[in-house]
Amino acid sequence: MTAAYKNLGRFIQALRRAGELKVVDRPVSPFVEISRYTDAESKSPGGGKALLFPRVLGSEFPVATNLFGSSRRIGLALGVRNLDELGRRVRDILETQPPHGLADLTRLLGVALSLTRSFPRKSRAKRPPCQEVVHIGRDVDLGRLPVLHCWPKDAGPFFTLPLVFTKSLITGRRNVGMYRLQVFDRNTTGMHWHIHKDGSHFHQEYRRAGKRMPVAVAVGTDPATMYAATAPLPRNVDELILAGFIRNQPVPLTRCLTQDIDVPAEAEFILEGYVDPDELRREGPFGDHTGYYSLADDYPVFHVTAITHRRRPVYPATLVGRPPMEDCYLAKATERLFLPLLQMVFPEIIDYWLPWEGVFHNIAIVSIRKEFPGHGPKVMHGLWGQGQMSYCKALVIVDDTVDPKDPAAVLGRLLQRFNPETDVVLTKGVLDVLDHSAPQPLFGAKIGLDLTDPWPGEGRAPRPGVSPNRDMESPGRLVSKVREAVPGVVGLRFVNREEKWAGLDPRSMNLCLAAVSSGPDKSGAWFANKLLDLDVLAGVDLMILYDDRIDLADNSLVLWKLFNNVDPERDVTARGGRRVVDARIKGPADGHDREWPDELTFDV
């Protein structure tokens, strides 16, 4: 396998040869129609196929989607059969020791040679492919490109796979980030960089100096470079070095025609332009990777001074939404690639897992080799202070005997080990801008669950003894009694009664999922207290509330709702050792005054 694809076209050819490409050879509209095809393909078994749309209405350029949206395709893109191979390559470099013999010296020279191939270089082409066709000034028209209007309530068409090139005004260091661009008109777009991104950091340098900021955007590069733009690298680390490391070849660069920025010479399209220091425009809403529309807000404006492209370019796009989608596989590559780097800071970490339903920033499950009392909370606080992990809302820590990537093992550990009186760490900190459940944006509550075995001195206790009324009635009779006693309860699911949990220790936690019909007079706290009052549910330790239209049998759906819709401080009702967690849509009756975003759907 190879990751050294010269350009996007070569990668698409490789997908075709591997039987991983499906061509939709009929006229399609970039307004939602391509999205419908892509969403259906993304959610088919195994992620479906990559899609190529050669006949796009209103544009001469073909569109490609779902290029990375399966385990096989992300492996093909990055030149590995298994994503853990990337981590092993990183670990080989991190663990390099001084040579003690000829074999060690040979290995060290191999590592050094690999690193020298990682640094980007100037293209030798007289006319780089990305500048075969040039449109400058008045000839610029973004409307010629097949930019997708992804979801019905999006504010407009958005570039969804743009590689945004900026450089520091102070140090001149380059950054490559992937920030969506909403098309406003023929030569301006939004520049949606979040406040914690390097592009935004550089923008602040230009704002303080009162200077216009040069920007370039590459649309359609080789896959390793596209992936590198999504990677959460430390500030001042060049993403193109990571791309070269993955490719085992340097990324060739060329200078823009109207801006002092270098861009990938083999790109399909290049947008050149600038951002004025204090100009903002309303951007959004946009159907985001959380499965909800991110809300409209003011962002900088990108003025396009030139569009250049190959003679026969392909326009790549991605569709994001409720998992599983293409971005899940990109995130999985990051999870595997960055494990060795995380282990350098936290050598006790054995492995970790970012469940897709947590949309990358809402939950991480971490296994550690526990060595002393309080080791679990120590790792929690360390991770909350570490780069992109600082935005993670929930952390679950398990012993090294538990595979964090096995959801059944983790849930079984929760049911048998968890004591809410002693095993919870609550704190506050920075949150991802897309976290809609917190009472205010960007900052809020975080929760850690320590599911490791308790050590002497920790002040933790095993689960309490058998709860009263532990031998509950049959689920059917319970549902009938609960619905009669608490108006608005429409369905219950008793997880422990399912066959896979039949062998749990009798001291294990009883978990119940409840679908309820809310109203102005029925907040989450109202339902929580009513349910906790019921004698027939006295044997239930943990209840999770959902909206009435939720299919409680859909495990992925109930996890997605739980991870996205809960503020750990506001949405948990406690009574003794029992808890009710509110995963419903929130409003003023629940103490949530922010706008709650709409879920993504093609039905309007």
Give the active site residues: 288
Going by the DSSP 8-state scheme, the letter that residue 491 receives in this structure is E
From residue 168, how far is each of 172, 207, 238, 287, 402 by CA, in Å? 5, 12, 12, 30, 44
Distance of alpha carbon 469 from alpha carbon 473, whole angstroms: 9
Q: Which residues does 588 contact at the CB level (< 8 Å), separation at least 6?
A: none
Helices and strands, number each (H, E), in the chain: 15, 28
b/e burial code for range 558-594 (CB count within 10 A of at least 16 → b): bbbbbbbbbbbebbbbeeebbbbbbbbbbbeebebee
Could you tell me which residues are beta bridge partners of residue 397?
Answer: 366, 450
Q: What is the CA radius of gyration of the chain?
A: 26
Could you tell me which residues are beta bridge partners of residue 318?
Answer: none
Length of the chain: 604
Distance of alpha carbon 330 from alpha carbon 327, whole angstroms: 5
Cis peptide before 252 (omega within 30 of 0): no
Going by the DSSP 8-state scheme, the letter that residue 229 receives in this structure is T
Amino acid type, 260: D
DSSP 139-186: G--GGGS--BB-STT-SS-EESSEEEEEE-TTT--EEEE---EEEEET
DSSP 78-95: HT-SSTHHHHHHHHHHHT
Amino acid type, 154: D
